[in-house]
Amino acid sequence: MNPFIRAVSQLQEVTLLVWRVLRGLTKTPRYAPEMLRQMDVLGVGSLAIITLTGFFTGAVLALNSANTLQKFGVQSVTGQLVITSLIRELGPVLTCLMLAGRVGSGIAAELGSMLVSEQIDAMRALGTDPIKKLVTPRIIALVTMAPALTVICNLVGTLGGMLMAVSILHQPSSVYLSSAKTAITLNEIVAGLIKPTVFGFLIAVIGCYKGMSTTGGTVGVGLATTQSVVLSSIMIIAADFLLSKLLLTTLLAQ
């Protein structure tokens, strides 16, 4: 099949999948316990890797930026630079890239395995809608947990930057925190939550679509998992550019 035609066909299938999810939100059953379970598995289960990512990112930001800022005599704004970089860009992007690798691949592998082992066909035979039972809870869980994990990443990253500023750069913690507070505004917070919400939606939709369209047995499951991670990462980076441009001209416009 022509690559362009294949891309258009896949876009159509993804759009139909999203439409079925949105349409199903107004109908029962809603499988609330499954949604909570997915929030625990996908969100709480990713807390350790997100915490480590945020801490070392904030520490590296403070360490690398302080030397440059010192040349201009503005080393006191290290906290502002760290928190602005985390909220606007690094926090949402790195958090969701970690989720794409850990969660997106897991969704694709789990649904793909269920499809090739005919468990999904069995669900349909018993009158259960696999979209409502399997896809919707995962999408809602990621859309909910991605912003929450991003906030945690930003907080831990700020603490990591402060640790570097105090221990290595010998900057008083009060100076660092005072500088960081000046960068925290309502518009910054809102903009910092919009990105991970969109990214989480993309990761969940791509992972579910790749899993539900798996073919070729167990080999196809591995291929679907790889494609899910790669495509999710590309979409996150592309969407980040578009959202950054949009937010800079609206919420973050000076």
Under the banding of pLDDT at 50, 70 and 90, the label for residue 66 is confident
- Which residues, 6 or more positions from 241, have their beta carbon under 8 angstroms from its beta carbon? none
For residue 9, give the amino acid letter: S
Q: For 141-163, how does the pLDDT look when each residue is reduced to its tens digit (9 = 90+)? A: 999 999 999 999 999 999 999 99
205 Cβ neighbours under 8 A, 6+ residues apart: 14, 17, 18, 139
Confidence band, pLDDT 50/70/90 cuts, at residue 8: confident
Task: State the Cα–Cα distance between residues 179 and 65, nearest whole angstrom.
Answer: 14
CB 53 within 8 A of CB 153: yes
CB atoms inside a 10 Å sphere around CB 33 = 9
pLDDT tens for 70-97 read 777 777 888 888 999 999 899 999 999 9
Instruction: Return the domain boundaries, the chain.
Output: 31-248
HEC string for 33-48: HHHHHHHHHHHHHHHH
Confidence label for 170 from pLDDT (cuts 50, 70 and 90): confident
pLDDT of 24 above 60: yes
Residue 207 has pLDDT above 90, yes or no: yes
**Residue in 120, 106, 95, 136 with CA at minimum distance from that of residue 42:** 106
Half-sphere exposure of 203 (CA within 13 A, CB side): 36
